[in-house]
Amino acid sequence: MSRKEIGERGDVYARITERIVADLEKGVRPWIQPWSSGNATGRITRPLRHTGEPYSGMNVLLLWSEAMARGFASPTWMTFKQANELGGHVRKGESGSIVIYASRFTKTETDAHGSEVERDIPFLKIYSVFNVDQIEGLPANFYCPPPPVFDPMARIEHADRFFAHTGAVIRHGGSAAFYSPSTDHIQMPPFETFRDAASYVAVLSHESVHWTADPRRVGRDLSRYAKDRSERAREELVAEIGSALLCADLGIVPEVEPRPDHAAYLGSWLSVLSNDKRAIFAAAAHAQRAVAYLHGLQPQAETVKAA
């Protein structure tokens, strides 16, 4: 990889991190879908590719942030070329939104002993996509009115089944929500103490992401959680993003106000992101793995499609 390519990749991390920091400084958590902004047509969902496949990880945050900032109503995005191939055209003067593609390639090198060794080299590319609201002439199904909303109670019951299938030990009582690594259980306040069922599910989603950190599951190191403010902030960032992804997958509209204990992490998040341009990418990747793991615990017939 050339120095220019390495520099461009580093610039991508910096540019996107600066944008996330700017949102946080304005009090906007960019990993929260703009539920109450009135710009989400259809069911509550992750951003979608033109094929209907959901985006994952960092791209979810980027496109939710764009949708909120620019008032897009459609959840569907595509490239300029894809729009043309579908018979549509991007309106003149419209600007694209950034999404990223991260992967790795194998390079053969000669080590100090003259032996050939293979080394995995990660790379990051960016490209532009346009929201359906910016495109004219697409097939009618891209502009169809949203399908009827399912009965709210049925959607909550579906969430209850989802968490039951994870096998996590969930106890109720007290006034605090937390995951206890020592006893490997999730503690939740009584259901009746929440503003509504959606708020309960959002908090349980957050704690369930913490639950995946156990080495027997996804495995994230929580050994310094109680001792290191920075490490605690990083893990809370993973749980915040994971909760947002999971709520979208389950069709849950959570309370947009942050929990008081997590709102207190705002300064720590700003500090972590300002000092580490890759922190938000790592948090989004950990969150994606945690949510995928929770989906993987569901019976095949009831599994919600994970990105």
Q: Check residue 31 and give its pLDDT.
A: 67
Provide the token pair at 279.
Answer: 């922190």
H or E stretch at 244: helix 229-250
Lookup: tokens for 68:
């909120």
- Rounded to whole angstroms, how far apart are CA atoms 83 and 131? 10
Q: In terms of Cα–Cα distance, which of 35, 36, 58, 56 is closest to 46?
A: 56
Q: Which amino acid is at 200?
A: Y
- Report d(CA 162, CA 270) in Å as an integer: 33
Query: What pLDDT sits at residue 40?
Result: 40
The full length of the chain comes to: 307
Which amino acid, one-letter code, is at 220?
A: R
pLDDT of residue 301: 40
CB of 220 closer than 8 Å to CB of 255: no
**Segment (H or E) for 199:** helix 197-211
Distance from C-alpha of 33 to C-alpha of 68, rounded to nearest angstrom: 8
Cα separation, 194 vs 172, whole angstroms: 12
Burial 249-286 (b: 16+ CB within 10 A, else e): bbbbbbbeeeeeebeebeebbeebbeeebebbbebbbb
User: What pTM, to 2 d.p., does this model score?
Assistant: 0.75
**pLDDT tens sequence for the chain (307 residues):** 344 444 444 577 888 888 788 777 776 666 665 443 333 444 557 889 999 888 988 898 888 888 877 878 788 999 999 999 999 999 999 999 999 887 776 777 777 777 777 777 777 788 899 999 999 999 998 987 655 444 554 558 889 999 999 999 999 988 889 999 999 999 998 888 787 888 889 999 999 999 999 999 999 988 888 888 888 889 999 998 999 899 889 888 765 555 555 556 667 778 888 888 888 899 999 999 999 999 999 996 454 444 4
Q: What is the pLDDT of residue 300?
A: 66
Query: To which H or E segment does residue 89 belong?
Result: strand 89-90
Tokens of 52: 């209907």
The reported pLDDT for the residue numbered 27 is: 66
Q: What's the pLDDT score for residue 102?
A: 78
Tens of pLDDT along 19-49? 788 777 776 666 665 443 333 444 557 889 9
Domain ranges of the chain: 3-143, 152-302
pLDDT value of residue 307: 40
Q: What is the pLDDT of residue 257?
A: 55
CB 39 within 8 A of CB 71: yes
Q: Look at residue 294 in the predicted model and tell me its pLDDT.
A: 96
Residue with tokens 């996107």: 16
